[in-house]
Chain A
């Protein structure tokens, strides 16, 4: 089937073009995919969505016609557009982000820590947190882990999803970890880092065991911006347009028990030993990063990946500027090149400033 010049075309509402400094991307939110497109095509789509292709041709010189037709052949062949005589019946997806509870996710760090897990979990219940990450920086035996997970087994708990990071440890056999997964239906992943090789085991109906050769030293290992971490779906896209894609709705407890927005950020709002999460959350500064969107961050605001990317406010290129680009991002939206951030000589001073440990 070929494109129709005299019937209006519509972009499917779940396919959203995003312009960058040098090129654009078409974010396909239902199929979790991106296609690179020229910025000139982004402009055409913004201007002519809902009109006939013939009207674009009319507005452009003959020289451009072949390119324009090529663009639309590509869009049609890849299911990004359709033709309709009633384009006004197809509205865009509303960019409205709503969650019932302020807190949507939590990171809980553990490094031979002495705080009380029971209290942590009951506090998480009180702020209705549904997704949690437990990150262990020190070695932990599977039986110790089992007793912690047991605390999360309450039937009526609001917690829906638990992700666990543990260092590789010969004594924790695959069998033992599988048993852990089965112990609690809420655990979706156990990530075993610093493993001898990278392997994934899908345990049917239970979750995943992920072995990775990557290492995590502590909270300073976080914040790396990488195309593998892009999240291409409407929920993340819409949240990124309105809020910070990492810190919005997040609450954390660092390895020393300090209550923070993110464990990697130095500002804390009391300690879990004697403060509540609710009190921390009500502190006037707790949410200070929540509304910083990629559209406001230097360089990111020119990047075509800004609504599918993660963010990091803990480690910034310029530590004194809250709107500075994430330090651990090696992407240059002006040249479209990825390079290794950690070896960039311009970043060395800042790496030292944050006292980061590099692999």
Chain B
């Protein structure tokens, strides 16, 4: 058997590149995009933990069984026919979204054990907790920024007084609001005294961290036993991109170069991935002006094509190679 199933999304370039390598290695690849939910009849057999997807167009059957190697790259198993979405009352919609989501997460957890090899997880993407990850990173040996989540102005003021420069960001994901008329978002931002002054004494719980003065950031993509590290130098050193490297500036784009993790940091990463029970993901670290490694966050289904391209790591080749090996194991 040399069948690899990839659960992904239509426009994911990394999936395309891995498939190219897999086909040259002689693998039979089945790509399932979560957007194509209308195209499949899907059944999950709880007893043996197998998933069957039957294409309504070609009648071809994809079976995820104990013979299948699965790379869960993006999205999830296309279980819920699109045509039914948003046709119900908002209350029923909410119930179904949660109810079916529960099954999809359950299947994800079961397949991790029943498939021949399974890497990547929508469950982990959905159920990732920044504060838990920080806590576990500390346990794995990393330094972490001083972090509080509070709804209390006096606590926040005390935090600000102690660390002077503090930042905030969303607890779960990036702050982003979109309506038909407008879109506004924010990654990581500095919290100024003026912002604090406008707050009532009791406000919505928010995360605050002390600002780490960095030499550079390190992005690590992990795939099974493979680690790919890249250092990111943001310019100017003092100023705009210091807080959030995503706010790249055109005239002086970030420099992204290959990086070798010191052995202890490499070991801490592996330890952390065991703690959170993840085989793949992307980790962001800061190397502070004190030369210490600060853990920022982990992204279970993050993009790695930029790491691969900028450092010439050929990550897609390594992934395809590993999946092929797993087929023949």
Question: Which stretch (B1-9, B43-51, B72-80, B249-257) binds chain A?
Answer: B249-257
Give the number of residues in A that approach B within 8 Å (Cβ atoms): 26
Query: Which residue of the partner chain, among B237, B259, B310, B313, contacts A1 with CB atoms under 8 Å?
Result: B237
Contact B310 A84 (CB under 8 A): no
- B20 in contact with A101 (CB, 8 Å): yes
Which residues in A have their C-beta under 8 angstroms from that of B311?
13, 93
Chain B residues in 8 Å Cβ range of A238: 312
Expressed in whole angstroms, the Cα–Cα distance for A100 and B314 within the complex equals 10
A85 part of interface (Cβ distance < 8 Å): yes
Residues of B within 8 A of A (CB): 17, 20-21, 23-24, 215, 231, 233, 235, 237, 252-253, 255-262, 291, 309-314, 317
Q: Would you call A98 an interface residue if the criterion is a C-beta within 8 Å of the partner chain's C-beta atoms?
A: yes
Q: Give the shortest distance, in Å, between A105 (CB) and chain B (any CB).
A: 15
Contacts of B291 in A (CB 8 A): 85-86
Partner of A30, one of B23, B255, B260: B255
* List of A residues within 8 angstroms of B258 by Cβ: 13, 90-94
Of A79, A85, A89, A94, which one neighbours B312 at CB under 8 angstroms?
Answer: A94
Q: Select A12's contact among B21, B23, B215, B257, beta carbons within 8 Å.
A: B257
Please give the distance in Å from B85's CB to the nearest CB on chain A. Answer: 24
Interface of B is mostly: mixed
Closest B residue to A14 by beta carbon equals: B257
Do residues B255 and A79 form an inter-chain contact, with CB atoms below 8 A? Answer: yes
Contact A12 B20 (CB under 8 A): no
> CB-nearest residue of chain A relative to B24?
A100
State the CA gap A88–B256 with chains docked (Å): 16
Question: Chain B residues with Cβ under 8 A from A91's Cβ?
Answer: 258-260
Q: How far is the CA of A285 from the CA of B258 in the complex (A)?
A: 38
Which single member of A13, A84, A128 contacts B20 (CB below 8 Å)?
A: A128
A82 sits at the interface (CB 8 A): yes
* A14 and B310 contacting across the interface, CB-CB below 8 Å: yes
A-B pairs with lowest CB-CB distance, top 10: A100-B20, A13-B257, A100-B21, A89-B260, A12-B255, A98-B314, A93-B312, A100-B24, A91-B258, A94-B312
**A–B complex contacts, Cβ < 8 Å, 7 sampled:** A14-B256, A84-B215, A85-B291, A92-B258, A93-B312, A100-B21, A100-B23
Q: What are the residues of chain B within 8 A of A96 when measuring CB–CB? A: 312, 314
A240 at the interface (CB under 8 A from B): no
Which residue of chain B has the shortest Cβ distance to A11 in the bound complex?
A: B257
Whether B312 lies near A82 (C-beta < 8 A) is no
The CB with the most chain A CB atoms within 10 A, among B231, B235, B257, B291, is that of: B257
In the complex, are the beta carbons of B259 and A90 less than 8 A apart? yes
Q: Quick one: closest A residue to B317, CB to CB? A: A98
A197 interface contact, C-beta 8 A: no
With both beta carbons as reference points, the residue of chain B lying nearest to A128 in the complex is identified as B20
Closest to A88 in B: B260
Give the docked Cα–Cα distance between A90 and B311 (Å): 11
Task: Report B-chain residues with C-beta under 8 Å of the C-beta of A234.
Answer: 309-310, 312
A62 CB-CB contact with B under 8 Å: no
B23 surroundings in chain A (CB, below 8 A) = 100
Contact residues in B for A320 (Cβ distance below 8 Å): none
Q: Which applies to chain A's interface (DSSP): helix, strand, loop or mixed?
A: loop
| Chain B residues, CB < 8 A from A79 | 235, 252, 255
A3, chain B: closest CB distance, angstroms: 14
Taking CB as reference atom, which chain A residue is nearest B233?
Answer: A82
Cβ contact within 8 Å between A30 and B256: yes
A91 to B260, CA, bound (A): 7
Name the A residues within 8 Å of B20 (CB-CB). 100-101, 128
Given A84-B215, A89-B261, A93-B257, 13 other A-B residues pairs in contact with their CB atoms under 8 A: A14-B257, A14-B310, A30-B310, A88-B260, A90-B257, A90-B258, A90-B259, A90-B260, A93-B311, A94-B312, A101-B20, A128-B20, A238-B312
A238 vs B310: C-alpha distance when bound (angstroms): 12
Docked Cα-Cα span, A91 to B230, in Å, equals 10
Residue interface bits A163-191, CB-to-B below 8 A is 1, else 0: 00000000000000000000000000000
* A31 close to chain B: CB less than 8 A: yes
Give the nearest-CB partner of B257 in chain A: A13
Quote the shortest CB–CB distance from A305 to chain B (angstroms).
Answer: 21
In angstroms, how far is the closest chain A Cβ from the Cβ of B255?
A: 5
A93 CA to B23 CA in the complex, in Å? 27
B237 A100 Cβ-Cβ under 8 A = no
* Residues of A with C-beta under 8 A to B237: 1
Q: Which residues of B contact A84 (CB under 8 A)?
A: 215
Residues on the A chain within 8 Å of B310, using CB: 14, 30, 234
- Mark A7-31 against chain B: 1 for CB-CB distance below 8 A, else 0: 0000011100000000000000011
Nearest Cβ in chain A — how far from B28, in angstroms? 16
Chain B positions within 8 Å of A85 at CB level = 291
In the bound complex, what is the Cα–Cα distance between A98 and B259 (angstroms)? 20
Distance (whole angstroms) from the CB of B264 to the closest CB of chain A: 12
Q: Please, how many angstroms separate the alpha-carbon atoms of A235 and B253 in the complex?
A: 18
Write out the residue numbers on chain A whose beta carbons fall within 8 Å of the beta carbon of B260: 88-91
Identify which of residues 83-141 in chain A touch chain B, using a CB-to-CB cut-off of 8 Å.
Answer: 84-86, 88-94, 96, 98, 100-101, 128
B235, B255, B260 interface centre (most CB from chain A within 10 Å): B255
Whole-angstrom CA separation of A79 from B231 in the bound complex:
15
**Are A14 and B17 CB-contacts (below 8 A) given A89-B262, A96-B312, A98-B317?**
no
A90 to B230 Cα, complex, angstroms: 9
Report the separation of the CA atoms of residues A31 and B253 in the bound assembly, to the nearest whole angstrom.
Answer: 8
A13 contact set on B, CB distance < 8 A: 257-258, 311
